[in-house]
Homo-oligomer: A and B are copies of this chain.
């Protein structure tokens, strides 16, 4: 943690999936590649067991809004609701502090 820490934003996406998720992996990979090319994108962490958690990091709320409204991403979101997700939750968060441990 440094004194000149500059706040940024995190989108916490938690979800549960249906049993049949045909086409999901391909789309998820495509969307991750596309997200990386967006203005203000900072990074992403993802893991799934019973619940899936994807956290993406962004420079600003505007960058998050632009990504949410990206045409290809909107189609992916629609497919997600129709085919893959039984439930999801999206939290828009301001990262206020951060610290790290390295062995």
Q: Does A85 contact B (CB under 8 A)?
A: yes
Give the Cβ gap from A13 to chain B, nearest Cβ, in Å: 10
Copies in the assembly, this chain? 2
- The answer for the CA separation of A55 and B51 in the assembled complex, in Å, is 12
Among the listed B48, B88, B92, which residue makes an inter-chain contact with A101, where contact means beta carbons less than 8 Å apart? B88
Q: Give the chain B neighbours of A12 by CB distance below 8 A.
A: 10, 12, 55, 95
Q: Does A21 contact B (CB under 8 A)?
A: no
Considering the complex, give the chain B residue whose CB is closest to the CB of A82: B103
Q: Does A102 contact B (CB under 8 A)?
A: yes
Q: Give the chain B neighbours of A94 by CB distance below 8 A.
A: 93-94, 96
- The answer for the CA separation of A89 and B100 in the assembled complex, in Å, is 4
Q: Does A29 contact B (CB under 8 A)?
A: no
Q: Does A39 contact B (CB under 8 A)?
A: no
Of residues 52 through 103 on chain A, the ones whose CB sits less than 8 Å from some CB of chain B are 52-53, 55, 81, 85-103
